[in-house]
Amino acid sequence: MTKKRDYTLGAVLILIGVVILLANQNLALTDLLIVAIGTVLLIRYYTERNSFYLVLGMIMLVIGGSSLVESHLSTSIDLEGFMFMTGLGVVFLILYFTKKISGFIYPACFLMTFGIFILIKEVFTVDMDWAFFIAVGGAFYMIYFIETRKYSSKWPLIPGTILIALSGLFYLMNHDIIKDNFWEIITYAWPIILILIGIRIIYNNIRHK
């Protein structure tokens, strides 16, 4: 019986040497170590095919890599949060397609849209808090187009549309286009939304009979 080869120890020694050499060039040692650990975990996944090593290794690479890139970018915009959130989202998206685990689509979409929202807040100096609900609503739309549409399930469109509408409401209030108190508007809006959702559910049940 052929013994299964394990390259982990050799990879660890190589990475330790590389980390020390790079640290001598005044690169952040902690970030380098995190990237190195992530690389070792990915190599471990290659030898053992354990999904735990794959997930943890990719996350470690995102954490260390985003911090390294941010520390060497000559820009006034803080990109670390954007790279970290978006990077984690991409990790889960890759796992969703490679491992065929439908649950991964939710953190993938939410993390990526949150990352984009963080970038928008950094780029624009004006108040962009109203756009947060667009990000969340956009995540629900992504979930629909990537995952649930395959099963003719449209439920993500309901919270997605509601959140985007709320974002538009926030925008109108922030620009004094709507003068009324927000909570007073919500007092009337959310019962109407519930009524419309109830009507939609009843209509779908009648149609499928």
pLDDT category, 24, cuts 50, 70, 90? low
What number of CA atoms fall less than 13 Å from residue 63's CA on the CB side?
Answer: 15
3-class DSSP assignment, residue 73: coil
Residue 194 falls within a domain, yes or no? no
Q: How far apart are CA 37 and CA 46, in angstroms?
A: 14
Same domain, 137 and 167: yes
Residue type, 59: I
Which residue range is the domain that position 114 belongs to? 80-178
pLDDT of residue 46: 75
Considering 55, 72, 89, which residue would you say is the last residue of a domain?
Answer: 72
Q: Is residue 185 part of a domain?
A: no
Examine the domain organization and report whether 42 and 97 are in the same domain: no
- What is the predicted pLDDT for the residue at 143? 93
Residues 65 and 91 in one domain: no
Q: What pLDDT, on a 0 to 100 scale, did the predictor assign at position 4?
A: 46
Structural domain count of the chain: 2
Residues 95 and 62 in one domain: no
Rounded Cα gap, residues 177 and 111, in angstroms: 31
pLDDT for res 204? 73
CA atoms within 13 A on the CB side of 76: 3
Distance CA 204, CA 194 (A): 15
pLDDT of 2 reads 44
Same domain, 163 and 85: yes
Domain-located, residue 25: yes
The alpha carbon of residue 77 and the mean position of all alpha carbons in its chain are separated, in whole angstroms, by: 20
Asked if residue 100 belongs to a domain, the reply is yes
At residue 112 the predicted structure's pLDDT band, cuts being 50, 70 and 90, is very high
What are the tens digits of pLDDT across the range 44-99? 777 777 777 777 888 888 877 777 776 666 566 667 788 888 888 888 898 898 88
Instruction: Give the pLDDT of residue 23.
Output: 59
Do residues 98 and 46 share a domain? Answer: no
Share of the chain above pLDDT 90, in %: 11
Do 37 and 111 have their domain in common? no
The reply to whether 183 falls in a domain is no
What is the radius of gyration, based on Cα positions, of the chain? 23
- Domain assignment present for residue 4? The answer is yes
pLDDT at residue 164 tops 80 = yes
42 and 62 share a domain? yes
Packing angle between helix 51-71 and helix 29-48, nearest 10 degrees?
A: 160
